[in-house]
Amino acid sequence: MAIVYIETNFLMSITTGREAEAIMLLRDLSSSVQLVIPSICYRSALSALEDELKRQNSFGQQLSRQVSETKRDVTSEYAASLSFHLEESFIYYGYRVGEIKSRLREAISLMSRNSEMIALNPEIIEASLNATLIEKDPTDNLILHCILSHARSHSTETKVFLSGNFKEFGIPAVQDVLREAGITKYFSVTKNFLGWLQSQS
């Protein structure tokens, strides 16, 4: 059994469709894998979804304005065709926004049923306040301390970390502290993790 730590970025890679393998991992979870996620990541993913939807809505409003402007152009030989394609784009844009929402719902539902959650406690919070391992993002620093706390309490198991957030979790100082806690492998993409998992059997 391998403990596989994941964080907010895993949920968001599913939500935004960046990694097809991530949702496949959740839908067909191997019995040799125990997924573990800090509870704070659910809240973090919902906040990230909110930000993503704001960006999408801004784009939708711009697209809608372009449709209106293009329809008003009665002299251009291209305006009618462009207007048609922009309206089609607006429809498909709406479909994609719906997909984004449903992907996160599915990911959270599957995670809540098939993973262990690391609950915040005073010791983890104090550790994150006293040791800033990730300078730029206090939430990621707290997530890291959740993972370290859990890893140290499971000293005999094989432990790996799967996160596409290489900018924060892939830096040498963080990788060193992960190794010290017994997390021997780090994967930035799910496909590479699945290849490693298959090689272990």
Asked whether residue 77 is domain-assigned, the answer is: no
Asked whether residue 178 is domain-assigned, the answer is: yes
What secondary structure letter does DSSP report for 136?
A: S
Q: What is the token pair recorded at 130?
A: 């006293």
- Per-residue confidence (pLDDT) for residue 55, from 0 to 100: 84
What CATH code is carried by the domain that includes residue 132? 3.40.50.1010
Residue ranges of the chain with per-residue pLDDT less than 50: none
Asked whether residue 81 is domain-assigned, the answer is: no
Q: By 3-state DSSP, what share of the chain in percent is helix, strand and coil, each rounded to 5?
A: 65, 10, 20
Asked whether residue 68 is domain-assigned, the answer is: no
Structural domain tally of the chain? Answer: 1
Structural domain range at position 182: 2-46+103-200
- Per-residue confidence (pLDDT) for residue 164, from 0 to 100: 92
- Per-residue confidence (pLDDT) for residue 79, from 0 to 100: 86
Q: Cα–Cα distance between 125 and 112 in angstroms, integer? A: 23
Residue type, 59: F
- Per-residue confidence (pLDDT) for residue 58, from 0 to 100: 85
- Neighbouring CB atoms inside 10 A of 175's CB total 14
State phi, psi for 35 to the nearest 5 degrees.
-75, 135
- Contact call for residues 181 and 157 (beta carbons, < 8 A): no
Site of tokens 């097809």: 20
- Contact call for residues 14 and 62 (beta carbons, < 8 A): no
Asked whether residue 63 is domain-assigned, the answer is: no
Asked whether residue 29 is domain-assigned, the answer is: yes
pTM over 0.75: yes
- Per-residue confidence (pLDDT) for residue 91, from 0 to 100: 86
Asked whether residue 97 is domain-assigned, the answer is: no
Asked whether residue 78 is domain-assigned, the answer is: no
Angle value at C-alpha 55, between 51 and 61, nearest 5 degrees:
140
Residue type, 85: H
The side-by-side arrangement of strands in the sheet containing 158-162 is 115-118, 33-38, 2-6, 158-162, 183-187
Q: Cα–Cα distance between 137 and 130 in angstroms, integer? A: 15
Site of tokens 């010791």: 123
